[in-house]
Structure 1
Amino acid sequence: MAETFYVECPGCGETKGADHHNPGTVGIHCSCGVSASVDIEAQAIGDWWER
């Protein structure tokens, strides 16, 4: 069974689930216009940017 990963959006604080997965990271895209990559092992947001 796959583990679900949630993170707070750095733009608006809404809790988001992962939109896409890469080795060691997941990505989120929030309706507030922020996209972010999350380091799974560190459980921390790496890079984030506004669309």
Structure 2
Amino acid sequence: MAETFSVDCPGCGKEKGPITTHPGTVGIHCSCGVTSSVDVDGKGVDEWWER
């Protein structure tokens, strides 16, 4: 079974997830207006920006 994890939005701090682990990077979009890329291997936010 795939492992899942969550990350906190760098804009508002709300937990975003679950994110299923697989090689590469995924993107999350939060209602606070922040979009971020998530480093799946590192299980954390890679870079983020406000929309």
Inter-partner Cα distance in structure 2 for 1:27 and 1:4: 15
Q: Which runs of 5+ in 1 are unaligned?
A: none
Greater RCO structure (CA 8 Å; 6+ sep): 2
Q: Which runs of 5+ in 2 are unaligned?
A: none
Inter-partner Cα distance in structure 2 for 1:2 and 1:18: 11
Q: What's the RMSD between the two structures over aligned residues?
A: 2.3
Partner of 1:8: 8
| TM-score of the aligned structures, taking structure 2 as reference length | 0.74
**Aligned positions, number:** 50
Give the residue type in structure 2 aligned to 1:26.
V
Show CA shifts across 1:6-48 (max 9, x none): 21000000011268xxx51111100000000010101121110
| TM-score of the aligned structures, taking structure 1 as reference length | 0.74
Identity %: 67
Inter-partner Cα distance in structure 1 for 2:16 and 2:29: 8
Inter-partner Cα distance in structure 2 for 1:26 and 1:4: 13
Report runs of 4+ in structure 1 exceeding 6 Å deviation.
none
